[in-house]
Amino acid sequence: MAKIGFFDSGVGGLSVLKEALKLLPNDEFYYYGDSANCPYGIKGEAFIQNRSFEITEHLVNDYGVEVVVVACNTATSYALSYLRSVFPNVSFLGMVPAVKPAAATTKTNVIGVLATKGTLNASLYKQIRDTYGCGSTIIEHIGEGFVELVESFDISGQHAEQVVEDSIRDMVLAGADKLVLGCSHYPFLKDTIEMVANRIRPDSTPNIEVIDPAPAIARHLRSVVKETGFRTSNSEFPNVKLESSGDDSVLNNLYKQCVTNNLII
């Protein structure tokens, strides 16, 4: 069976793990959330590369993972190429904001991108934006407080709605009909974002779609696993190990309540 590692600045990468479990139910998953150093979006490139190296080394040496999903947009932007150079025998997948599918389906030609400061400033994101979004108006905004909401498991209710509205109001009122989630934490707020966006949207704007990149990453992961020829197991449940550099209570609670209630860790 495939041994697949995931890491993120905290619990956000569970949004990708959730989709992977649907497509690869018989493999082994090792998830590391670096919550003690969360968020990465305000950290420097050298720090992010160093932590990404340390975490990947742990996943490879201690668990023997063959595939690593860098389930963090900021870490993908600043460390993915570096990791591929120092771990040549490991297959890596990263996260990038889904500007391409948003640009292909927008009716208003206005797209909102929600991401961290680190992701929005990275050359990788700018290249994707300029390549696929050149025919649309792109409105970018940092999801202020979004990561903190997810890390504290405060993903719905009045407080979460107000934090979300503060970040999306301008792009929604400008006519955006696609909101791209450029941080793996943000999909846990997807229902709240979608509800608030459609509540405040102008009458002239079609229903707003919030685009979560996690399903596409999971499909790519399945293709990589198949291409490498790993043998699948006959176990009834996937084997999932969760680790955190900080308090692991939110990680475990989010996994059990928002990822799956049926799988055994």
Distance CA 70, CA 92 (A): 7
140 CB burial (10 A radius; 0-12, 13-18, 19+):
middle
The full length of the chain comes to 265
User: Which one-letter DSSP state was computed for residue 207?
Assistant: P
Q: Tokens 């018989």: give the residue.
A: 26
Closest CA to 48 of 144, 148, 116: 116
Residue type, 187: P
183 carries an active-site annotation: yes
Cβ atoms 242, 115 nearer than 8 A: no
End-to-end CA distance of the chain: 17
Distance CA 5, CA 70 (A): 8
The SS3 call for residue 61 is helix
38, 72, 134, 258: the catalytic one is: 72
State which H helix or E strand residue 68 sits in: strand 67-70
Distance CA 87, CA 97 (A): 24
258 carries an active-site annotation: no
The SS3 call for residue 72 is coil
Which residues fall within 8 angstroms of residue 263, CB to CB, at 6 or more apart?
Answer: 21, 237, 238, 240
38, 134, 183, 258: the catalytic one is: 183
Query: What is the set of active-site residues?
Result: 72, 183
